[in-house]
Structure 1
């Protein structure tokens, strides 16, 4: 079964309170860079992608890029 990975690049670091909410709602969440401008979330369906983007926009985070990759 293929797994998906969603990488979002943000203009500014993600707020810790928002990151806590995202980690509570979604599995496999990481911010690999020290500045917190990249968010990686694994295995999201279409409704979850929409919910994540809405949460980021509603909390004032500007998404610069969004990429989905699949891995076997």
Structure 2
């Protein structure tokens, strides 16, 4: 199974507590930029990404863009 890199653009900043939770669930996560509106997750399968999206939506974050690149 090929693993992928996902780049999610969010509306507004992601809260630090949620970013900490996401980092405990995924191996390689970064949030470049001072406002944290871009979330990059590497080496995740589709089930993990679905769980990440549900977590973001459940915490009130709007995903504006979603891009996948196969690693």
| TM range, smaller chain | over 0.9
> How big is the alpha-carbon RMSD for the aligned residues of Structure 1 and Structure 2?
1.4
Per the alignment, residue 12 of structure 2 pairs with 12
**Unmatched segments (≥5 aa) in structure 1:** none
CA offset at residue 43 of structure 1? 1.1
CA offset at residue 32 of structure 1? 1.1
3-state DSSP class of the match of 1:65?
strand
Kept after mapping to 1: 8 A contact 2:4/2:45: no
Per the alignment, residue 49 of structure 1 pairs with 49
**Unmatched segments (≥5 aa) in structure 2:** none
Structure 2 counterparts to residues 16-31 of structure 1, below 5 A: 16-31=16-31
Per the alignment, residue 60 of structure 1 pairs with 60
TM-score, with normalisation over the residues of structure 1?
A: 0.91
3-state DSSP class of the match of 2:48?
helix
Pair 1:39 & 2:39 matched? yes
TM-score, with normalisation over the residues of structure 2?
A: 0.92
